[in-house]
Structure 1
Amino acid sequence: MENRVRSESRSTMEGVKFGSEAAVAAAGNTNRRALRDIKNIIGAPHQHLAVSKKPSAADAKNQGAGFAGHRPVTRKFAATLATQPANAPLAPIGSERQKRNAETAFHAPSDMECTKVSDDLSVQHLSDMDEMMTNELKEIDMEDSEEEVAPDIDSCDAGNSLAVVEYVDEIYSFYRRSEDLSCVSPSYMSHQTDINEKMRGILIDWLIEVHYKLELLGETLFLTVNIIDRYLARENVVRKKLQLVGVTAMLLACKYEEVSVPVVEDLILICDRAYTRADILEMERTIVDRLEFDMSVPTPYCFMRRFLKAAKSDKKLELLAFFIIELSLVDYGMLKFQPSMLAAAAIYTAQCTINGFKSWNKCCELHTKYSEEQLMDCSRMMVELHQGAAHGKLTGVHRKYSTFKYGCAAKSEPAVFLL
Structure 2
Amino acid sequence: MRRSKENNPGSIAAPNVQDRFLERCTIIRKKLQLVGMTAMLLACKYEEVSVPIVEDFVLISDKAYTRKDVLDMEKLMVNALQFNMSVLTPYVFMRRFLKAAQYEKKLEFLSFFLIELCMVEYETLKFQPSLLAAAAIYTAQCSLWRLRTWTKTSEWHANYTEDQLQECSKLMVTYHQKAGSGKLKGVHRKYSSYKFGYAAKTEPALFLLDPRHNC
TM norm. shorter chain > 0.5: yes
CA shift at 1:344, angstroms?
0.4
**Is 1:349 the counterpart of 2:132 in the alignment?**
no
Give the TM-score taking structure 1 as reference length. Answer: 0.48
Does the 8 A contact of 1:216 with 1:258 survive in 2?
Answer: no
* Equivalences, count: 207
Q: Which residue of 1 aligns with 2:101?
A: 311
**Is 1:399 the counterpart of 2:173 in the alignment?**
no
Does the 8 A contact of 2:136 with 2:169 survive in 1?
Answer: yes
**Is 1:214 the counterpart of 2:12 in the alignment?**
no
CA shift at 1:348, angstroms?
0.5
- Give the 5 Å matches for 1:339-418: 339-418=129-208
Label 1:265 to 1:404 Cα distance change in 2 as closer, same or farther (>3 A).
closer
Does the 8 A contact of 1:345 with 1:378 survive in 2?
Answer: yes
**Is 1:294 the counterpart of 2:59 in the alignment?**
no
Q: Which residue of 2 aligns with 1:332?
A: 122
- Give the 5 Å matches for 1:248-287: 248-287=38-77
Q: Distance in 1 between matches of 2:72 and 2:194?
A: 39
Q: Deviations over 1:38-74 (max 9, x none)?
A: xxxxxxxxxxxxxxxxxxxxxxxxxxxxxxxxxxxxx
CA shift at 1:216, angstroms?
5.1
Q: Deviations over 1:298-356 (max 9, x none)?
A: 21101000100111111111111111111111222211111111000000101111121
Q: Distance in 1 between matches of 2:13 and 2:159?
A: 23
Does the 8 A contact of 2:97 with 2:133 survive in 1?
Answer: yes
**Letter of the aligned partner of 2:173 in structure 1?**
V
CA shift at 1:264, angstroms?
2.2
Q: Percent identity?
A: 60
Does the 8 A contact of 1:360 with 1:372 survive in 2?
Answer: yes
Q: Distance in 2 between matches of 1:326 and 1:223?
A: 11
Q: Distance in 2 between matches of 1:353 and 1:259?
A: 32
Q: Distance in 1 between matches of 2:189 and 2:119?
A: 15
Query: Higher RCO, 1 or 2 (CA under 8 Å, sep at least 6)?
Result: 2
Q: Distance in 2 between matches of 1:418 and 1:353?
A: 9
| Larger Rg, first or second structure (1 or 2) | 1
**Letter of the aligned partner of 1:296 in structure 2?**
S
Does the 8 A contact of 1:319 with 1:409 survive in 2?
Answer: yes
Label 1:338 to 1:268 Cα distance change in 2 as closer, same or farther (>3 A).
same
Q: Which residue of 2 aligns with 1:105?
A: none
Secondary structure of the structure 1 residue equivalent to 2:109: helix
Q: Distance in 2 between matches of 1:230 and 1:248?
A: 13
Give ranges in structure 1 of 5+ residues lacking alignment: 1-212
**Letter of the aligned partner of 1:271 in structure 2?**
S
**Letter of the aligned partner of 2:69 in structure 1?**
D
**Letter of the aligned partner of 1:359 in structure 2?**
T
Give the TM-score taking structure 2 as reference length. Answer: 0.90
Q: Distance in 2 between matches of 1:345 and 1:324?
A: 9
Give ranges in structure 2 of 5+ residues lacking alignment: 210-215
Secondary structure of the structure 2 residue equivalent to 1:233: helix
Q: Distance in 2 between matches of 1:298 and 1:238?
A: 28
